[in-house]
Amino acid sequence: MRILLTNDDGINAPGLKILESIAATLSDDVWVVAPAEENSGAGHSLTLTHPVRIRQHDEKRYSVTGTPTDSVMLGIGVIMKDVRPDLILSGVNRGANLGDDVTYSGTVSAAMEGTLAGVRSIALSQVSSREGMGDAVPFAAAQAWGERVLRPLLEHDFGDRTLVNINFPALSAEEIQGISVVRQGFHDYARGSIVKGTDPRGYDYYWFGLHGIEHTPGHDTDLEAIGDGFISVTPMQLDLTDYDAMGALKAVYDG
């Protein structure tokens, strides 16, 4: 099995090292194609307005001067053109990718891009106990449970247009309650904070912050599972159509 690893925290992120050690338990043919710089919050963006370059660091290790989506596209289309991957793992992200936040996530979007290219793709994120920890986020849960969560997914056919989103709770390996397959949740509070400041030249700027507000997650959601100490596993589909709403919307136009 040939595995391609990527992330949105950049080629030097600690979580990528963790993912490399997890992938090594699954295969000895592991490639890395990741953004040269951090791209958290990049979502599924594709670089169209300027050229992107590839830098080779080792035989199977490359960085890309672009987004996570750029990395997967160049990984499959150029770097691994003749040795296509069987599996794409994205992460382990520094921080959660839960609920509606997945639409901002470069980590999850890299797995979406892999799925679009027809490669089995899985996103992995390590929840942190509080925001603003930077590289101090402990990856103990992901490290200890990564192989155990991934191995059953390698044999299981989860569908051509489906990716899997995994989050590890901010707990020690022993404190984890188990693995829970749950749906995507929604936050019941407003978006993250916007911090206003003034730059050295006297101009105002705005900086988006992350939210850390307590909330009550919906039942059987990824948010609830993480709150209860479980590793969340959520299958996600690329088809965003709301089939339940189609009939009513057709009626709007048909009179």
Interface positions with Mn ion (CB under 5 A): 8-9, 40, 93
How far apart are alpha carbons 164 and 176 in whole angstroms?
20
| Smallest separation (angstroms) from Mn ion to the CB of 114 | 17
Q: Residue with the closest Cβ to Mn ion?
A: 40
Tell me the closest approach of the beta carbon of residue 71 to Mn ion, in angstroms.
13
CA–CA distance from 142 to each of 17, 77, 235 (Å)?
11, 29, 18
CB of 8 to Mn ion, least distance (A): 4
If the CB atoms of residues 107 and 218 are measured against Mn ion, the closer one turns out to be: 107
Who contacts 51 (Cβ-Cβ below 8 Å, separation ≥6)?
none
Q: How far apart are CA 78 and CA 72, in angstroms?
A: 10
Smallest gap, in angstroms, from Cβ of residue 218 to Mn ion?
24
Task: Identify which of residues 54 and 210 has a Cβ nearer to Mn ion in the complex.
Answer: 210
| Token code pair at residue 215 | 């909330």
Q: What DSSP letter does each residue of 174-231 carry, written as one string?
A: GG--EEEE-B----SSPPPPEEEEE-TTS-EEEEE--------PPTTBHHHHHHTTEE
121 within 8 A of 237, measured Cβ to Cβ: no
Minimum CB distance to Mn ion, residue 106 (Å): 6
CB 188 within 8 A of CB 239: no
Angle subtended at Cα 41 by Cα 233 and Cα 29, rounded to the nearest 5 degrees: 55
8/222 with CB nearer Mn ion: 8
Minimum CB distance to Mn ion smaller for 193 or for 216: 193
Q: How far apart are CA 117 and CA 73, in angstroms?
A: 8
Question: H or E element: which one contains 181?
Answer: strand 178-181
Taking the least distance from each CB to Mn ion, the nearer of 136 and 245 is 136
Would you say 152 or 207 has its CB closer to Mn ion? Answer: 207
Tokens of 222: 């990824």
Measured CA to CA, the distance from residue 207 to residue 227 in angstroms comes to 28
Shortest Cβ distance from residue 36 to Mn ion (Å)? 14
Report in angstroms how near the CB of residue 170 gets to Mn ion at its nearest: 15
Helices (H) and strands (E) in the chain, counts: 6, 11
Residue 41 or 178 having the CB closest to Mn ion: 41
